[in-house]
Amino acid sequence: MKAVAVRPGDLVVFMVRRLGTSVNDRMGLLDMTTDDTCCDRGRSLRHGFLRERVVDDVDFASKRLESVREVGVLLEPLSVAAKANRQAYEIQRRLGVWRPRRAIVLGAELPGLLAAMARRTRSALLIT
């Protein structure tokens, strides 16, 4: 991980997943780890971020603009939805024959709603 130039009081978002030892981790694909045990803040082996102020290693911080303060809580779940879309497109792109016009998103909670919004930005007709 590379250090981010942040100062005390800066608005930042911390990464949930922590670097493991697998080949995928070393390539920066932390969500694709093949380690038997992975370290996730708030999920396994480390406390989470459900508080107004936290302390963490600067290597896991990403500085954010003040303008996203009110919606910053959506960054992590939206990143999950965006990654799912990206992975689906990448898998199908390799086949060379996929031309999606419709998509179905299952789930009406926050991740599902964000996934539906992310799909709309890809100009796909949603079937709900």
Which residues have a Cβ under 8 Å from the Cβ of 111 and sit 6 or more positions away?
Answer: 77, 80, 81
**Residue 116 structure tokens:** 């539906």
Are 8 and 57 in a shared domain?
yes
Are 33 and 88 in a shared domain?
no
Q: Which domain holds residue 96?
A: 71-128
pLDDT in tens, 23-81: 988 888 877 788 887 777 777 767 777 777 778 888 888 888 778 788 877 877 887 78
Are 2 and 64 in a shared domain?
yes
Are 66 and 3 in a shared domain?
yes
Number of domains observed in the structure of the chain: 2
Are 19 and 54 in a shared domain?
yes
Are 26 and 76 in a shared domain?
no
pTM (whole model) above 0.85: no
Are 47 and 87 in a shared domain?
no
128 has pLDDT over 70: no
Are 90 and 37 in a shared domain?
no
